[in-house]
Amino acid sequence: MNNQVRELRGEQGWSQADLAERLDVSRQTINAIETGKYDPSLPLAFKIASLFGRPIESIFDPGSST
């Protein structure tokens, strides 16, 4: 599953650690999501969408894989 998490984080000027702290997850988890090695659960995906103020489908693309 592709996602725009890295780009959106970059727009905010946040490090992976900053985003991890805001989402209450580890930096390892953010890194795994950004690189497509781990697909987040629905609750975490909604949390990410809410943090960036975007619809979930504009961040996560279930149609393609990395």
Partner 1 sequence: MRAVHKRYLREFIPAMSAYVLLVLLYGVLIRRTEAMPWRVVLAVLPLLPIVMVIRAIVRVIRDQDELERRIDLEAIAIAAMSTGFGYFSFGFLLNADIGLKFAAADVAIWVMPCLFGSFGVAKLLVARRYRSHE
Which residues of this protein are in contact with partner 1, per CB under 8 A?
24-26, 28-29, 31-32, 34-35, 37-38, 40-41, 44
Cβ 23 vs Cβ 15: under 8 Å: no
- Tell me if residue 15 falls in helix, strand or coil: coil
Q: Burial-class residue 6 by CB neighbours within 10 Å (0-12, 13-18, 19+).
A: middle
In the complex, the smallest distance separating the C-beta of residue 13 from partner 1, rounded to whole angstroms, is 19
